[in-house]
């Protein structure tokens, strides 16, 4: 065992023991145990002595053993204080998890039948051969795909389109760097547009749902798309200013036709039907998690997806999100969330202040660790604090929670901040300082936009 891992394990064990040893006043045994689990999870998620998804499963296991009616304290405490162990285990099949699984199934089939490349070919046609317009077209294509697919997979695919362009440009042409940066930046931003675009969206939606504020698929898109489009345009203009092209014209060569095999056509129908049902939830009443079972059932049943493709789903992301949902649940059930909120006087902080405070913390964390992990750690605290500060007003609570999740998604300063950044860095075209420049600009404008949207458009629309 290396020293770094040993140190992280020791810190986690110490953090777990501290609340039980010092017994914080007015928290109670279950609250102290919940705090122990929270501190252990936070340290393990950040320092990773074990894989982050293993930490999430450990959270659910510890909650079941220490806080549930079937755990070690059953019989020692009043039954009314202990929650059914199913409450924690069932987060592994939470509707948000089902929604993500449905998204994984659609994304996997899209890659299999090259729907992503076919759509890119069509979407790029109107943008001509002028470098700035081609860059905008590539960013819009990437953002659109990233809204429904993994931003990692989207970046990997789109970089295959961009690399020949970059190779054909002079090494002295700054646009070579700009167009390579355009893909990860657009993938990161595009993921904000839908509930399945990036895990922090799912964490925020699950937290709101547990708090009695459900948001539909279409509602999230209505809230997020204007933000995404504005930030995407800011990113595009920033890239054009920082990396002005010396080339006046070039052409993007894409010749991938639509796959017209029977299985591909069946997939197109299922894809269209699923998206239609997701965005029309208000009219038919079927929850998004239930609709997600449609592609999950039909794609394997029709042999459109095979066993190897299902095995390739990002199951560890689902476990991570489930652990975060479960952690928020126990913090609420044991009174830990209220206790933490009462340790600090939040009366002086307005909605803007809360967005700035939590957004800044989330932004810094997300640049250093996974944005999913950052959101998972922060969201229970954010929801607890905002609930008190907003006086229970659901529109104000939802607007601030969404703002914090969005700001976390805007963290892309370092190669380690997001997988798309790492993929772009691996090409050798860009370096860290290039990424830091554009990443800092996106972070700044993302925070400003989130502040404005949370106090105006989002609050008004949710109200």
Q: What is the mean pLDDT of residues 48-60?
A: 90
Q: What angle do CA 282, 285, 288 make, to 5 degrees?
A: 85
Strand partners, 68: 83
* Model confidence at 349: pLDDT above 70: no
258-262, 270-274, 334-338, range with the lowest pLDDT: 334-338
pLDDT at 303: 92
- Residue 299 pLDDT > 90: yes
Which class for 212: exposed (0-12), middle (13-18), buried (19 or more C-beta within 10 A)?
exposed
438-439-440-446 Cα dihedral, nearest 10 degrees: 110
Q: Does the pLDDT of residue 367 top 60, yes or no?
A: yes
- pLDDT tens profile 84-138: 989 899 989 888 888 888 888 888 888 888 887 777 777 777 777 788 888 898 8
Closest CA to 98 of 380, 324, 308, 292: 292
Of the pLDDT bands very low, low, confident and very high (cuts 50, 70, 90), residue 346 is: low
Note the pLDDT of residue 254.
63
Q: How many CA atoms lie within 13 A of 292 on its CB side?
A: 22
What's the mean pLDDT when you consider all of the chain? 85
Give the per-residue pLDDT at 348: 61
User: Rounded to whole angstroms, how far apart are CA atoms 76 and 95?
Assistant: 33
The 10s digit of each residue's pLDDT in 138-147 is 899 899 989 9
* Least confident residue range of 43-52, 54-63, 185-194, 332-341: 332-341
pLDDT computed for residue 446 by the predictor? 93
The C-alpha angle 452, 144, 274, rounded to 5 degrees, equals: 105
**Which pLDDT value is given to residue 390?**
60
Asked if pLDDT for residue 347 goes beyond 60, the answer is no
Residue 114 neighbours by CB under 8 Å, 6+ apart: 256, 259
C-alpha to C-alpha distance for 73 and 126, rounded to whole angstroms? 65
pTM, full prediction: 0.80
- Residue 377: pLDDT band (50, 70, 90) is confident
Q: In this predicted structure, which of 46-60, 61-75, 180-194, 415-429 has the lowest mean pLDDT?
A: 415-429
Q: How far apart are CA 93 and CA 99, in angstroms?
A: 10
What is the predicted pLDDT for the residue at 225?
95
> Which residues, other chains included, contact 93 with Cβ-Cβ below 8 Å and sequence gap of 6+?
none
What does the pLDDT read at residue 235? 96
Instruction: Encode pLDDT of 152-170 as tens digits.
Output: 778 887 887 787 777 777 8
Residue 64 binned pLDDT confidence (cut-offs 50, 70, 90):
very high
Residue 83 phi/psi, 5° resolution?
-95, 150
pLDDT at position 341 is 64
For residues 237-260, average pLDDT: 80
- Mean pLDDT over residues 427-441, rounded? 86
Q: Shortest CA distance to 124 belongs to which of 139, 107, 109?
A: 139
What secondary structure letter does DSSP report for 192?
Answer: G
Give me the pLDDT at residue 265, please. Answer: 94
Rounded to whole angstroms, the Cα distance separating 461 from 463 reads 5
């Amino acid at each position: 065992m290396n020293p770094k891992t040993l140190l992280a394990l020791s810190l986690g064990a110490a953090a777990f023991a501290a609340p039980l040893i010092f017994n914080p006043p007015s928290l109670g045994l279950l609250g102290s145990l919940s705090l122990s689990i929270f501190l252990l999870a936070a340290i393990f998620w950040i320092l990773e002595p074990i894989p982050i998804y293993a930490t999430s499963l450990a959270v659910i296991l510890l909650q079941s053993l220490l806080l549930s009616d079937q755990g070690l304290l059953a019989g020692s405490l009043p039954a009314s204080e202990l929650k059914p162990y199913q409450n924690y285990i069932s987060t592994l099949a939470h509707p948000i998890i089902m929604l993500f699984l449905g998204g994984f199934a659609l994304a996997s089939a899209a890659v299999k039948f090259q729907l992503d490349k076919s759509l890119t070919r069509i979407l790029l046609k109107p943008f001509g051969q002028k470098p700035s317009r081609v860059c905008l077209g590539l960013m819009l294509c990437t953002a659109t795909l990233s809204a429904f697919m993994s931003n990692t997979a989207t970046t990997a695919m789109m970089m295959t389109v961009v690399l020949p362009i970059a190779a054909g440009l002079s090494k002295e042409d700054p646009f070579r760097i700009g167009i390579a940066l355009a893909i990860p930046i657009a993938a990161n931003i595009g993921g904000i547009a839908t509930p399945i675009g990036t895990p922090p969206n799912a964490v925020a939606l699950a937290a709101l749902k547990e708090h009695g504020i459900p948001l539909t698929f279409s509602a999230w898109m209505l809230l997020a798309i204007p933000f995404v489009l504005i930030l995407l345009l800011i990113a595009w203009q920033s890239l054009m200013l920082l990396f002005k092209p010396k080339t006046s014209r070039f052409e993007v060569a894409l010749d991938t036709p639509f796959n017209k095999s029977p299985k591909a056509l069946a997939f197109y129908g299922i894809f269209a039907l699923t998206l239609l049902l997701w965005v029309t939830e208000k009219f038919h009443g079927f929850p998004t998690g239930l609709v997600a079972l449609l592609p999950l059932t039909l794609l394997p049943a029709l042999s459109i997806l095979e066993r190897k493709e299902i095995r390739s789903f990002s199951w560890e992301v689902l476990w991570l999100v489930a652990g975060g949902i479960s952690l928020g649940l126990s913090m609420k059930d044991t009174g830990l969330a209220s206790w933490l909120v009462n340790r600090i006087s939040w009366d002086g902080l307005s909605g803007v202040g809360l967005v700035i405070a939590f957004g800044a913390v989330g932004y810094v964390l997300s640049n250093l660790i996974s944005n999913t992990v950052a959101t998972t750690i922060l969201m229970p605290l954010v929801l607890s604090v905002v609930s008190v500060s907003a006086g229970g007003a659901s529109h104000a609570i939802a607007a601030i929670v969404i703002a914090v999740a969005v700001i976390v998604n805007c963290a892309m300063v370092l190669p380690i901040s997001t997988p798309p950044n790492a993929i772009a860095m691996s090409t050798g075209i860009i370096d860290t300082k290039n990424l830091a420049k554009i990443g800092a600009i996106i972070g700044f404008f993302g925070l400003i936009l989130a502040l404005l949207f949370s106090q105006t458009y989002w609050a008004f629309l949710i109200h």
